[in-house]
Structure 1
Amino acid sequence: MLTYSKNIALRLSAAPLALGLALAAAPAFAQDQAADDNAADVIVVTGSRITNPNLVTSSPVKVLGAEELQLRQTVNAEDLVGDLPGVTTGISSAVNNGSNGTSTFNLRGLGDNRNLVLIDGNRIVPSGLSSVVDLNNIPTALIERTEVLTGGASSVYGADAVAGVLNFVMKKDFSGVQLNTSYGLTEEGDGDTFNADITMGGNFADGRGNAVVSFGYQNVKPVLMGDRSFSRETLDVDGSLVGSGTSTPTRVNLINLRDANDKKLSQFDPDTGTLVPTYNTYNFAPDNYFQTPRKRYNAYASAWYDLTDSVELYAKGMFNRTTVNLQLAPSGMFGDTWQLPLNNPFLPAGVQQQLCADNGITDCAGAIANGTEITTTINRRFVEMGARKAQYTTNMFQGWVGARGDLTDLIKFDVSASYGESEKTRTYNNWGLKSRVQQALRAVDANTCVDESNGCVPINLFGDGKAISDGTIAFINAPTIVQVKTSMSVLNATLNGDLTETGFLGATTPIGFALGGEYRKYTADQVSDSASSTQDEVLGTGAPSPSYSGEYDVWEAYAELNVPLIEDQPFINSLSAEGGIRYSHYSTSGDTWTYKGGLNWEPIDGLRFRGNYQHAVRAPNLEELFLPASTGLGSLSKDPCAGPGISATLSAICIAQGAPAAIIGNIDQPSASQINVTQGGSLSLKPEKADSYTLGMVVTPTQVPGLSFTADYYHIKITDPIEYLSTNTILNACYDPNNDGDYSDANPNAPECALIGRNPLNGSLNGGGDTPGVTLALGNQDGEIISSGIDVSVAYSRPTNFGGLNFSFNGNWTDQFLTADGVECAGKYGSTCDPMLPKFSFQFRSTVSLDNIGDFSLLWHWMDGMEYEDRAAELADPESSVLPEYMKIDSYSTFDLTYRKDVFENVTFTMGVSNLFDKKPPIVSNYIGDGTYNAGNTYPSTYDALGRRYMATLSAKF
């Protein structure tokens, strides 16, 4: 139950009912650990290193207890925290095209690299080059509770805690054996999930020590977009069925030759043996995943031992092996530039003549005899190869050792060391190599290549669309491998305790302090095979994965104070102040200072006001510093230079950017709403800075036992943000400075125009490495990123004569979310406002406990309506092709129902139905936002694309 005392605002107790809250309404506070009175017990306070058991801090912290883990039947940390109000979508199991095989946490929409993920207040080795922690590595079986702190915490934990902190507090003492197994599937009969874990622990040395070990296994089966009716076909923004221009039969994109209606000739017609203007599009949706398959093996162990009455030794370690599979539609020749020999044995005579005419070759017969090569762009989907496969296998381990205890009656110490490694291997199959396709195009006859190396087999691009032989597929297809290794070393020493036995002005609570130092070193390297590191070589990948490495270290010193000022006075039950400061020296970016300050005021019993200010930093990560520049894919649905009727000024700009003059008026719109973008790291980056403050209140009225209420306003502003210039920012500055959509104000003198490079053959922003597309410069941008809003939590727990009732409400209202480009994204979606962040969202859980029958719990998820980021401009444009119904999403609700019962003394059975009423996701087309989050004609990371699901869990403890 929730209780209130003078020195501790709210505590969580291990009551049998345990509240069943989605989020416990709580301030930041010291948490009770085990029931024993061991003086060396650790008190974990998220957002502070001071371990006073009476500590109340000014930072708002939301708590998810073990009860909520049980009710949600959580088998992965992503499922526990990914849909909390105020949390936007990170990379998750619903992300297929754009995933790197991890699951990440994105607080306030500020980016998964702007918050820290911790275990017991300690850093976890990042899973990649961007310093982001993979939530797949969190051992859920041993989670005691999860705490989310809003606002900067760099003065406590160092860089990266800009948006806040996600801290998983693990069980410290465990005795006995616990077995958990769960199984779930969707109502469609797919997406099976199986999880099993065993935890064993006990005391030793007459109770002076405890050790626990846990092993787990998880297997998640896939769900395909083709398995749901709303996502089997790809919808364009105008509602039409449209797929990729890389299709079958082959398209050879002619520049000058037109038909009688002045339409470009492109697609091969097997009936006529010529190129015709119309072409098919390819429906790439069915092969993509809505739920990516995953297997995970994990182990976790921890132990502590009281060496003396005042010194405790401790150690813990974790190992995870996770395999995540991704799948995309078949690979192909995605409009890259190719050398096509006119004497290719599969080229029909009609196509040979068309190619000669298009390239101004008058002696076509002579050119064919000489094997003249035509430079052209080709689109051809390799349906014969099957779906593209990507497998990410991650092996991660980390170990901690340390000693802690009492130096004096007032002062404690904690000295620890940690080392972790993560090795992620990405293997591609069925993608194909460009160099081998080019080799296969240069053929002597149908069976012989000019260059016979590597067992070359000629490629037939001019059949009925399924004419590429098995031998050719085997030749062009070769698995490719990229391996990313990261390591993190940490040394930390802290003194904490009480400076005095009392506070100021008669306050009986002592002044708490913490001071210490920390050293961290990060290393990372990406090792790629030759194909993966070569621009354009692996077909259908976008950017290459060049080999590179980097490292940096940081030395830090920090100090904190929590000072009780006044206690037990009229209208001042308690008044305390806190402060903290940290100095950091980075080997790559120099010196930084971070600091915090806060106040807590309790005027009367049950009412507390709190506020704090934090100055935080985020140092550039290894990827931002060392990534070599390369060309990959970005999102764009409308190219200003595409289509007929463009102005003379705009035409001149497009030509200056590389478009052939002859193609103006016939430039194609971006293929599958994707264009080339060029980007890379920069060693000149400086740390970005953030200033945040929170103001709130905690109400726990003594007149209503079991009721608690919190409300906190937060405001986070990031200056000098480390960001790439967005595609829209660059295009608008060049083509549409007034952002009115008609391009009449196109400015050829804008410096951003020089950042745009077009395909020299067809003028588009698509193509191979010879088409840079839009160059996105990485730097400390001039704009500011701002996120502000209000969090509200209400919880009520009441025993009854039939059992108990529990209610909780947790909501977030986002007042503002401003990007570095000055775009307001709160409540909006689109290519800039991805992932989406609703203006208002909440979760409401109600739990009824019936004696001898069990617990029934209903969780209501509600999300405010959203609108397209360019809705106003599109509605005002009479030529807009975007359907009005795609520019607005109504509010969205789902309900989860759970039943739980202790079937035997030590055995608990839990079953649940998620999305009880089978709510369908909103349909907004496949091209209105960024392809990472906008997929399957909806936003599957935000809205439920799987449908009604069932889950059952059996837990036994002995």
Structure 2
Amino acid sequence: MYKHRLKTSAARAALIGSARFGAAVISAAGLLVVAGAASAQEAALEEVVVTGSRIVRDGYTAPTPVTVATTEQLQKTAPGSIPDGLNQLPQFTGSKGTQNTGNQATNANSGNYLNLRGLGSVRNLVLLDGARIPPTSFDGSVDTNVIPQALVQRVDVVTGGASAAYGSDAVSGVINFILDTRYNGIKGKVQAGISGQGDDESYGASIAGGANVLGGRGHVLFSAEHYEREGLPRNEMRSQGDGWWAEVGNGKAATPYRNARPVFYQTGTFGTVFPFAVNNSRNAGNPLAGYHFLPDGTLVPFNPGVTPAGSSNIGVGGDGSPSIGHSLTGSQRTDQLFGRFDYDLTDNIKAFAQLTFSESRNEFVTIGSGTQTNDFWIYAANPYLPTWAQNALAATPGQRVSGGRIHADQPFKRVNTLNDVYTFLGGFEGKIADYNWKATYAHGDSLVRSSHSGNFNQRRWYAALDAVRGPNGNIVCNITVTNPGLMDDCVPINIFGANSPTAANWAYISQVSQYQVSQQMDIVAAEFSGDLFTLPAGPVSFAAGAEYRKQKLEQTSNSDPAIATSTLGLRANVNSTINKFNSTNVGLASGEFNAKEAFVEFAIPVLADLPFVEHLDINGAARYTDYSTSGGVTTWKIGVSYQPIEELRFRYTRSRDIRAPTLNELYAGEQAARGGFTDDLSGRNDNLLTLRSGNPNLTPEIGDTYAVGVVWQPNYIPGFSASVDYYNIEITDAIQNLDTNDANKECIASNGTSPTCAFIIRPFPFNHTPASENFPIAVRTTPFNRALEYQHGIDYEVGYRMPMEWLYDGSEAHLDLRLVGNYNPSRKSRSSETAAPIQRGNTVSGGSAFPQHRINLQANYVDGPFSLSGQVRYIGEMKRSRTPGEFYENMTIEAVTYADLTATYEFTVSEHKFDAFVTINNLFDREPPLLPNGQPGQQYPTSQAIYDVVGRYFTTGLRFEF
């Protein structure tokens, strides 16, 4: 027996007791096929209900497309964690994790935040055994690393709108982690991993167990897990990270965007530079403009290198400096505890309760070098300046010069995030006559604490920078002379030359910016399902239920940008207002909402057992949700499943889905972050302050989705199945933070008349001349309901189990093949009602990548105790841009193929099963495509959201089961 099928609401699987470590293959129809049983008598059967519908009925198949992934297969391709394996599926793109480190700590997304369809983590609903998981980040998304993975049996991914059946936020689909709640026995795993270059070590261990108690009426379940991975603390640890790559050019036909190296800042060096007036208009006519300090503190003329077209502060070659110290990947540590108890109160009523605790720690270095370009004034009386420079400045009207420095001598700036999550689920379930019912209460509590060390306390920085000779001849801070008693502890700093600042300087200036986010969620839910009556084609089934959900958010911070930092007594700051820290200024937030929901779902058999009509079923669902913040909204779904013959089935679904604004989108206080910004008006590319805040007037966004597909399982090719589904998703009134670059381009195109101009804060009116003086002071972004997201594509899947006895007489070996692919030719977005749609399909830019083709091919060969599994992951070629009139020297990004290999051997010791395995990810050590941004050294020059930057990685371990 090489295949065993039992149909239920979507599938029933034979889980083989004697081959717990055997291969599990998911057919394209969503059927679980388990290898390893020598006969049906050796198989222990257990019902597995695949999601896609809340209707549970033998013989019924929901029309909603579902991709099913077993834990075993996911761990073979990504031994680190189940979410890492999911991220390799073609349906996921742009997920956030430890590989996606940033320059700030304003987003606490350093765990594993799955992104289905690339529409954002907040648009897919994450469930554990069908129950909503509380948010673990302040943006409302869920870190899937907190899920107890040792007992996860499989993951069902509903790849389409599912809000009517499962609840709001399921615009792009549902990711449902299914636990093996009836497990009996003890099982565990230990593993270790290391990269091919001898770094990025990882370690993991887990133990799980379950047993029947109290005469078989009760059942207990537990698990404990630990996993840690060191990460890669510097970009320079991989070959492309030490070349100081940057993208230069202005995208015109004559001067297209191109990759160049070595590229350095002209407005900041390791020893301090006073930029030319062309780089910094504040230095116009200044005698020190165009000078910089050598490492030994000598002030000499500055060589800016070759300034590319369209650039104003970077040069190819020359004396400038790059940012350094950024982490390539962050470190990760997760710990999980899980416990569950259920008890049969009667033959028809069961009580259950489960408790989960998870803790996730992540750390990475932001811009370790503390980049500050065009950022401060140096005055003529500064005694650290050479005498001739002091005299030259004293002769100027302002007696000062503007400088920039990249603090390569500063201790690295680190982000630490600690995420604690507690969840409780309890309730009762049972049967009344032929009807099933369930009533539950769930509580979730998450606490995220994020700290960013090495941040400059800006008041202290500017005070220390303004050094003068004191009355006694010692070098002191100017503020201690002009305003005694205000900052008498000020420690003056010498920034002229490499390693000039002392440890005491850094200790005085550098502090920790930190914030924490507390969220609670309470849910009371009830559900009732069964068959209403019988039609000639079969029973009419239904599921109905109601839910009350309450969520609360409280965010505190030591760096609220809404609280102005005093500049009293300071004269060294360029701008008139400053935040407390030079980065990671997070505001306060507080808010709550409740939602009341009621839903109903029907499955109606229309025709059956007729010529060319094996089955014709209709599935429909409707849900009404009343939000305390925005009122009522209705979602719905209609689906048709048509099976003309036993081996062929057509399916169609159409749905209206919603995503409600998160508490952070509604009530977030102002936060400030600094990053690169390209301004076509002034022709400058520089660091800029971005201000963000919430919008309490947001309403739910609306998603319209339809999918049509076919499933083929021919009887004359045993073990073969295939499916193809076309999908179309459009989200209107989409909640989106204003893209400041898009807003600026729209403002410039309108000659300053567009409403988006209000979000670009400039020192002078829009039409001020010269335009080079009008680089923005800051940009502001806020979420709004005017955006649009649209995409369509095709999901396809082919599965085949080949018994080797076809090739070798008497062989009990078999080969399982599975191909999963996605074709996504079009993906459009619009940042506002007046903006033109931007085609992002088949493009890669910055941190976002949306390939047209993604294909996974998996093969699993099993011969007795030995199995060999291989996977090929194909990411198709992409374009740098599909915007008319935008040119790149290398417009096409080549396709990338990764290969993974796992070898497994089963053996028995004292009648206990053991399973030794070795996995090699990125077998051929494929490097990612070179895709730098415009900021030299700040990010590794590729798209880390989709490509592997670690390289070949080895993992070995041992599983056991008693």
Same fold (TM over 0.5): yes
Distance 1:488 1:767 in 2: 50
Alignment partner of 1:135 is 2:163: no
Instruction: Compare 386-395 and 772-781 and name the one that shifted more.
Output: 772-781
1:51 aligned to which of 53, 56, 75 = 56
Aligned to 2:28: 25
Question: How far did residue 170 of structure 1 move?
Answer: 0.6
Aligned to 1:282: 321
Alignment partner of 1:385 is 2:406: no
2:679 aligned to which of 635, 639, 644 = 639
Deviations 1:222-276 (A, max 9, x none): 213211111113212241212444432223456365579x995363467664775
Aligned to 1:14: 15
* Distance change (3 Å), C-alpha of 1:789 and 1:530: closer
Question: How far did residue 420 of structure 1 move?
Answer: 0.8
Alignment partner of 1:848 is 2:888: no
Aligned to 1:368: none
Distance 1:127 1:511 in 2: 39
Kept in 2: contact 1:174–1:212 (CA 8 A): yes
2:355 aligned to which of 283, 298, 317 = 317
* Distance change (3 Å), C-alpha of 1:874 and 1:575: closer
2:496 aligned to which of 459, 463, 467 = 463
Deviations 1:483-542 (A, max 9, x none): 111111111011111112x2x2x123x22111111011111111111477757545442x
Alignment of 1:389-538 (within 5 A): 389-408=414-433, 410-445=434-469, 446-449=474-477, 450=480, 456-500=489-533, 502=534, 504=535, 506-508=536-538, 510-530=539-559, 536-537=578-579
* Distance change (3 Å), C-alpha of 1:20 and 1:276: same
* Distance change (3 Å), C-alpha of 1:475 and 1:271: closer
Alignment partner of 1:940 is 2:962: no
Alignment of 1:180-579 (within 5 A): 180-223=189-232, 224-237=234-247, 238=258, 239-244=260-265, 245-252=267-274, 255=281, 257=283, 264-265=289-290, 267-268=292-293, 273=299, 278=304, 280-285=319-324, 287-332=325-370, 334-335=372-373, 338=376, 340-356=378-394, 360-361=397-398, 377-408=402-433, 410-445=434-469, 446-449=474-477, 450=480, 456-500=489-533, 502=534, 504=535, 506-508=536-538, 510-530=539-559, 536-537=578-579, 539-541=581-583, 544-579=585-620
Kept in 1: contact 2:292–2:299 (CA 8 A): no
Distance 2:201 2:431 in 1: 50
Deviations 1:678-721 (A, max 9, x none): 33211111111011011011111111111111111111110111
* Distance change (3 Å), C-alpha of 1:106 and 1:73: closer
Alignment partner of 1:719 is 2:750: no
Distance 2:10 2:647 in 1: 8
Question: How far did residue 213 of structure 1 move?
Answer: 0.5
Alignment partner of 1:921 is 2:928: yes
Distance 1:308 1:46 in 2: 28
Kept in 1: contact 2:713–2:721 (CA 8 A): yes
Runs of 5+ unmatched residues, structure 2:
35-39, 248-257, 305-317, 565-577, 805-810, 832-836
Alignment partner of 1:581 is 2:622: yes
Runs of 5+ unmatched residues, structure 1:
365-373, 644-668, 738-746, 876-881
Question: How far did residue 627 of structure 1 move?
Answer: 1.6
- The amino acid that maps onto 2:447 is E
2:186 aligned to which of 177, 182, 193 = 177
Alignment partner of 1:825 is 2:834: no
* Distance change (3 Å), C-alpha of 1:608 and 1:693: same
Kept in 2: contact 1:91–1:102 (CA 8 A): yes
- The amino acid that maps onto 1:411 is Y
Deviations 1:149-207 (A, max 9, x none): 11111112221100001110011112121120111111100011110011121111222
Question: How far did residue 815 of structure 1 move?
Answer: 2.7
Q: Describe the SS at the equivalent of 1:130.
A: coil
2:638 aligned to which of 597, 609, 624 = 597
Deviations 1:754-810 (A, max 9, x none): 432235799999999x954333343111x5311211110000113231411110100
Q: Describe the SS at the equivalent of 2:64.
A: strand
Aligned to 2:689: 676
Question: How far did residue 53 of structure 1 move?
Answer: 4.1
- The amino acid that maps onto 2:838 is V
Aligned to 2:252: none
- The amino acid that maps onto 1:486 is Q
Kept in 2: contact 1:30–1:55 (CA 8 A): no
2:153 aligned to which of 144, 147, 150 = 144
Question: How far did residue 96 of structure 1 move?
Answer: 1.1
Question: How far did residue 43 of structure 1 move?
Answer: 6.3
Q: Describe the SS at the equivalent of 2:456.
A: coil
* TM-score, scaled to structure 2: 0.85
Distance 2:769 2:274 in 1: 15
Instruction: Compare 166-175 and 455-464 and name the one that shifted more.
Output: 455-464
Distance 2:319 2:762 in 1: 24
Question: How far did residue 27 of structure 1 move?
Answer: 4.2
Alignment partner of 1:868 is 2:880: yes
Kept in 1: contact 2:55–2:601 (CA 8 A): yes
Aligned to 2:567: none
Distance 1:350 1:458 in 2: 25
Kept in 1: contact 2:825–2:842 (CA 8 A): no
Aligned to 2:314: none
- The amino acid that maps onto 1:211 is V
* TM-score, scaled to structure 1: 0.86
* Distance change (3 Å), C-alpha of 1:870 and 1:56: closer
Question: How far did residue 66 of structure 1 move?
Answer: 3.0
Distance 1:28 1:707 in 2: 11
Distance 2:712 2:211 in 1: 39
* Distance change (3 Å), C-alpha of 1:606 and 1:475: same
Kept in 2: contact 1:250–1:461 (CA 8 A): no
- Between the aligned residues of both structures, percent identity stands at 26
Q: Describe the SS at the equivalent of 1:720.
A: strand
Distance 2:734 2:174 in 1: 19
- The amino acid that maps onto 2:791 is S
Q: Describe the SS at the equivalent of 1:159.
A: coil
Distance 1:778 1:151 in 2: 25
Alignment partner of 1:857 is 2:857: no
Kept in 2: contact 1:235–1:937 (CA 8 A): yes
Kept in 1: contact 2:550–2:593 (CA 8 A): yes
Question: How far did residue 384 of structure 1 move?
Answer: 3.0
Kept in 2: contact 1:448–1:456 (CA 8 A): no
Kept in 2: contact 1:404–1:413 (CA 8 A): yes
Question: How far did residue 29 of structure 1 move?
Answer: 10
* Distance change (3 Å), C-alpha of 1:844 and 1:784: same
Instruction: Compare 688-697 and 920-929 and name the one that shifted more.
Output: 920-929
Alignment partner of 1:907 is 2:907: no
Kept in 1: contact 2:26–2:33 (CA 8 A): no
Q: Describe the SS at the equivalent of 2:111.
A: coil
Alignment partner of 1:796 is 2:809: no
Aligned to 1:659: none
Deviations 1:870-923 (A, max 9, x none): 676344xxxxxx5x23x3211110111111111225101111111111111111
Question: How far did residue 464 of structure 1 move?
Answer: 1.7
Distance 1:549 1:280 in 2: 48
Distance 2:771 2:949 in 1: 32
* Distance change (3 Å), C-alpha of 1:717 and 1:19: farther
Kept in 2: contact 1:28–1:59 (CA 8 A): no
Deviations 1:386-418 (A, max 9, x none): 21111001111101000000122x211100000
